Structure 1
Amino acid sequence: MMVEGHGAAGRVARHIRQLIVEGVLEPGARVAEAALAERLGVSRTPVRNALPVLASEGLLEPVGKRGFAVRAFTKEESYAATELRCVLEGYAARKLALRDDRAPVVEQLREAMTDGDAIFTKGFLEREDEDRYAAMNRRFHDLVVNGAGDSLLQDMIQRVYAIPFVAPDVVAFNRIPAEEIFPILMSAQHQHHAMIDAIAAGQADFAESLMRGHSAAARRSLGLEERFNEVPSSGAA
């Protein structure tokens, strides 16, 4: 039985996400709060709170007045959208690097990295680190996107985030063995630091290139390289 309390909705969301990733909850299937609560050994409240989170990630879609169903999607959608996300975020990194008033955003980015670095100091990852890393990763990408100061770009990126497995706070540790996910995410964290340094130095071309190449780590962290290995890379990674 899953223990409820602070962060229960996040833990429930992680378990439901796993059921979707593994195909236990099939595309188009109606998500029933009561059945999920019984399956996960929790009350309906954290399930009810978790479903909108998963909908915001693009994994669920609203049906009826208050219900949700598993969103149907193709492997090509998720794979290509991950590439597109990094192209758009690369442009955001470029715009941020060119801003004369970027220093406060750079400071916030470095603060976010301090939180992220703490996850890796012990040399291995635990299951609860998934939520911590996801939150840090989302904060990093939101700071870059919002720091660009382009509302149209922000809107376009949010639309891409709605494709399943594309938003930066979607991490699925269960897709990859723990000993393999650690170096993947550590590499991504090093990329984060390099991007911040490039933005701080006003190196717009380099910042954009690093962010666009970041798509490879994003795909590997979700097991997309394995899951969709027949889909060729566009070369952005």
Structure 2
Amino acid sequence: MTVHGDSALVELPQPKRISLSESAADTIAEAIATRIISPGERIVETTLVEKLGVSRVPVREALKVLHAQGIISGGGHRGYRVAAFDPHVTQQIMEVRLSLESFMLRDAIDNWRQGMGDPSVLQAPINNMKLSAKAGSRRNSLVADLEFHRVIRQVANNPIVGTLWDTIARHVLIVFNFERFRDEDLDEIPRQHEAFRDWILAEIAKPETDFAQLQAALEGHMLLIARQKKRGDVSISR
């Protein structure tokens, strides 16, 4: 790791010991999302081994996973570099995410409506967003944001769609950090999710949900910041 110096990765949390290679891949993706590792930067395996406190094997496997997912490029004797998330790639990610999360949200609402679980589980990630805002931690806010949508993925209990969503979760985390998709004011993030949570609760109370309206509401939540910036708005409209 060369950008910002090798010591930058000391800020990263140590990977969990369960599924170590996957945890290492998550940690590296978080570093890319928060720009600790910059687009185009060369990734040095030995530096990651040292900074993450794990052996070469899980780091090497993590890099292979991220390469297969298109998050890093290169490989072999050339080494890896962080892939460029240009507007075209970003648009593709957002389109896939909207499609998958629409089905997940539909199934989650239906399950909650039938009494399968309690929608109050959405509150924990919102609380973490508030704590992250208070601490000024963009990284923790990003992770809590993704966790909010991961809760919906789990409640949906749709194995096929859930597995596909897991595949792009790291891409989504990276895209989250693009300011056109996320509010720069960390205090606004939990408020936006509370508004979306309240919409979900209102839908649960209905006998059924119109899928087109659900998709529109989800898209509105996902693209709220992009639309505001295009309009030149300063504050969130509610």
TM over 0.5: yes
> Do the aligned partners of residues 158 and 91 (structure 1) sit closer, same or farther apart at CA in structure 2, a change above 3 Å counting?
same
Q: Secondary structure at the match of 1:104?
A: coil
Identity %: 17
Does residue 201 (structure 1) correspond to residue 212 (structure 2)? The answer is: no
Q: CA deviation at 1:79?
A: 1.5
Report matched runs for 1:36-47 at 5 Å.
43-45=50-52
RMSD of aligned Cα (Å): 4.4
Does residue 188 (structure 1) correspond to residue 201 (structure 2)? The answer is: no
- Determine which of 160, 164, 168 is the counterpart of 1:152: 160
The CA distance in 1 between the partners of 2:37 and 2:87, in whole Å, is 14
Could you report, residue by residue, the CA deviation over 1:122-171 in whole angstroms, capped at 9, with x for unpaired residues?
4xx62xx2222122122211121222222221233234446xxx424764
Query: 1:116 corresponds to which letter in structure 2?
Result: M
TM-score (norm 2): 0.60
Q: CA deviation at 1:91?
A: 2.2
Aligned partner of 2:109 in structure 1 is 97
Aligned partner of 2:66 in structure 1 is 55
- Determine which of 102, 105, 110 is the counterpart of 2:123: 110
Report matched runs for 1:74-93 at 5 Å.
74-93=86-105
| Native 8 Å contact 2:100 2:165 kept in 1 | yes
The CA distance in 2 between the partners of 1:208 and 1:217, in whole Å, is 14
Query: 2:13 corresponds to which letter in structure 1?
Result: G
Q: CA deviation at 1:5?
A: 7.7
| Native 8 Å contact 1:109 1:143 kept in 2 | yes
Q: CA deviation at 1:43?
A: 3.4
- Gapped runs of 5+ residues in structure 1? 227-237
Per chain length, whose mean CA-contact separation is higher, i.e. which structure has more relative contact order (CA < 8 Å, sep 6+)?
1
| Native 8 Å contact 2:30 2:174 kept in 1 | no
- Size of the alignment, in residue pairs? 202
Q: Secondary structure at the match of 1:167?
A: helix
